[in-house]
Amino acid sequence: MPGSRRPGRIKDKLKADQERLRRQGLRPIRVWVPDVRTPAFRAEAHRQSLAVAHDRQERADQDFIDFVSDFGTE
């Protein structure tokens, strides 16, 4: 039945989970990240990708990124 849940049950479970994690030596933090769903984010990502693609150093930069990305995997 809708609405038959006890309102405090979710809060109690969340609090118990947080206390368990604290006992494990962890602490909560809040992290804000860009909202990749927004048109502004998409436009800026596109602008930056075009800037990189048209840069004369692009190939050398990508070669470096590929090298350090593979470092230690062989």
pLDDT of residue 8: 81
List, in order, residues 6 or more apart from 42 with CB less than 8 Å away: 36
Range of 53's domain? 8-57
pLDDT of residue 27: 94
Say if 66 falls within a structural domain: no
Say if 69 falls within a structural domain: no
**DSSP calls for the chain:** -TT-S-THHHHHHHHHHHHHHHHTT----------TTSHHHHHHHHHHHHHHHT-TTHHHHHHHHHHHHHTT--
Say if 41 falls within a structural domain: yes
Indicate the number of domains in the chain. Answer: 1
pLDDT of residue 5: 61
